[in-house]
A and B are shown apart, each in its own frame.
Chain A
Amino acid sequence: MSLAYNPTVARLTYRALLGRKRAMILFCLPVLLIAISVAVRALTGADDQVAADVLGGFALATMVPLIGVIAGTGAIGPEIDDGSVVYLLSKPVKRPTIIFTKLIVAIGVTMAFSAVPTFIAGMILNGNGQQVAVAYTIAALVASIAYAALFLLLGTITKHAVVFGLVYALVWETLFGSLVEGARTLSVQQWALALAEKVAGNDLVKSDVGLPAAIVLLAAVTAGATWYAGQKLRSLTLAGDD
C-alpha cells in the first residue's frame, strides 16, 4: 500500500469538515470543557484528583470520541452520501492515497479540537500538578489517531456512520466498558489511558490494559482500519438514480 499525501484532497476535506453545520459541535464541546474547568476551579480550587476526574470523565471519555466521530465520519461520509465523491474518484489518484490523506486531516482536526482544549482545561484545573494535564493531553492525542481511523472507516462503509460512531463512543466505551470486564480491553479510551498512566504521578490515572498491549492494539486498529477503508473505496459503487 502506497501512503502518499495529496494536498488537494486534504484542502477539499478541511473545507468540507469545517464548513458544515456539524462543525459547530467541534467548537462547542471544547468551549463546554473549558467552561466546566473554570467553574470547577472556582468552586473547589486546585485539586489533582478533581482535575483527573474531569479530564478522564468528560474530556477523554466523552469529548475526544465525539470529536473523533464528527471529524472521522465527516471527512468522507457526506461526500459519499451526496455523490460528490465522484469528482475525487474519477481521477487517476490511488484510493489508499485518498483515504490516507483524509485520515491525516481527520487526525489533525480531532487533535486540534480535543487534545488542545484538554491541555488548556488541565492547566486551568490544577496547573498541570502531578503532570495530570500533560498525561491526559497525550492520551487525547493518541486516542485521536485511533478514533479518526476507526470512524473514517465507518464513514466509508456505511451511510449511518454517525449513529454507529455515537453508539460505539457512548454505549460501548462508556457504558458497556464500565460494566463488562472484557469490553474495557477493547476500548480506545483504555489504550490511551495506558500511556497516560506512565506520565501522571500518584496513581491518578489508571488503565485496565498494559502498555505493550495498548500500543500494539492502537497500531493494529489504526493500520487495519485505514487499509480496509482504502480497499472499500476502490470498489465503491454508485447505483444510478434510474
Chain B
Amino acid sequence: MATIEIDHASRWFGNVVAVNDVTMTIGPGVTGLLGPNGAGKSTLINMMGGFLSPSTGSVTLDGRPIWRNEQIYKEIGLVPEREAMYDFLTGWEFVLANAELHGLGKKAAQLAIATVEMEYAQDRKISTYSKGMRQRVKMASALVHDPSVLLLDEPFNGMDPRQRMHLMDLLRRMGAEGRTVLFSSHILEEVEQLASHIEVIVAGRHAASGDFRRIRRLMTDRPHRYTVRSSDDRKLAAALIADPSTAGIEVDLTEGALLIQAVDFGRFTELLPRVARDQGIRLLTVSPSDESLESVFSYLVTA
C-alpha cells in the first residue's frame, strides 16, 4: 500500500501562488487530477515527484518526505509532461539506461518495453518517434523498476484515439494491480473514463474530490446561463419565470435577447420548448453562454 499524503501544502513562485493550501490523500487505484490549464496541476505533481519543495506544508509517501530524498524513487515512477528525453539514444538504449540507474539490467528493460508494446521500434532513435511513441517509451522508463506509485503529467496530450485507449488500458491494469496511479488532465471525459477517484484543482485550490458521478453531478447541477431570442421575448420571460427551474431573467434591450439563469438544468431544458409551443412563441436562438470549462471549474470553487 503506497499512499501519498499532501498536507496543507502551498507553493508560490515570487508573488504568484501556484498551489494554495491543498490537502489530499492519493491511495492505490487510479486517481485523476483534473483542472483547467494553469490550475497548478503540474506544480502539484512536481511536488509529489520530488522536483519542487512545498513552500509550506508537507508532501510525503507513506510518511517519508519526498523532497531531497532520492531513495524514494525506488517506489515512484515518473512520466513528465515535457518532451525532452535523450533523443540521440534508441528507445532500447534509453529504457536500458533507466533500468541501469535503478541497479537493474536488460531483463527489466525488456519487460518494460514489452509492457508498452514498443519492441517493434526499440532500435530506432527516439528523435524519429511520434508523440505517442515517445509517450510510451517514457512510460516504459517509469515502469522499469516495477514502482508502487506512478505519476503522469498530462499523459494523453497529443495522443491519437488508439494510443489513448491503449494507455488507458495499461493504467487501468496498473491501478487494478494495487498501484497508486495519479495522472493529470484538463479534459473531464478523459478523467471520467479512467479514474475511479477524481481530485479537482482550480486556480491552485482543491475544489472537489470524489468519484466521477459526484464530480459530474456537481458540474451539471450548477446554474446554467442561456441567451435566448424569440418572436416575443417578454411573453416568454413571463411564462418561464413562473417555473422554479428558472432563477432569474434579464431582458437585454440592446441585444434584443433574454439572459436566463436556470438552476435545474434537466428540468429547464424540457421546460423551454414546451412553454414556447404552448404560448405560440417561436424560438430563434437558444445558446448556453457559459459552457467553457473554466466557468464550470470556477463554479466548483465557489460552490
Contact = CB atoms under 8 A, between A and B. Distances in A.
B101 interface: yes
Interface residues of B, number: 43
A92 B80 contact: no
Contact of B50 (A8, A87, A90, A94): A90
Contact of A237 (B53, B72, B73): B53
A86 B86 contact: no
B70 to A, nearest CB: 5
Given A15-B88, A242-B38, A88 B82 contact: no
A238 interface: yes
Contacts of A11: 97
B71 A8 contact: no
A86 B80 contact: yes
Contacts of A95: 70
A237 B80 contact: no
B10 interface: no
B81 interface: yes
Report, as a range, how many residues of chain A touch the other chain: 20 to 34
B89 interface: yes
Contact of A238 (B18, B52, B70, B141): B52
A120 B46 CA distance: 50
Contacts of A84: 82, 84-86
B68 interface: yes
A240 to B, nearest CB: 3
Interface in B87-107: 88-89, 94, 97-98, 100-103
A91 B46 CA distance: 15
B49 interface: yes
A52 to B, nearest CB: 41
Given A83-B82, A84-B84, A93 B46 contact: no
Contact of A242 (B40, B68, B73, B85): B40
Contacts of A239: 13, 43, 46, 52
A105 to B, nearest CB: 14
Given A11-B97, A84-B86, A238 B71 contact: no
A38 B153 CA distance: 57
Interface string A1-19: 0000011110110011001
B129 to A, nearest CB: 14
Contacts of B85: 84, 87
B88 A19 contact: yes
A242 B88 contact: no
A181 interface: no
A88 B101 contact: yes
A235 B68 contact: yes
Interface string B26-70: 000000000001111111011001111100000000000000101
A24 B81 CA distance: 31
A238 B94 CA distance: 21
B97 A240 contact: no
A82 B87 CA distance: 11
B88 A91 contact: no
A241 interface: yes
Contacts of B50: 90
B53 A90 contact: no
A88 B80 CA distance: 12
6 contacts: A8-B97, A8-B100, A93-B101, A95-B70, A236-B51, A238-B51
Given A90-B50, A95-B70, 15 more contacts: A15-B86, A15-B88, A16-B86, A82-B84, A83-B82, A87-B85, A88-B101, A90-B49, A90-B78, A91-B70, A92-B102, A234-B68, A238-B51, A242-B39, A242-B40
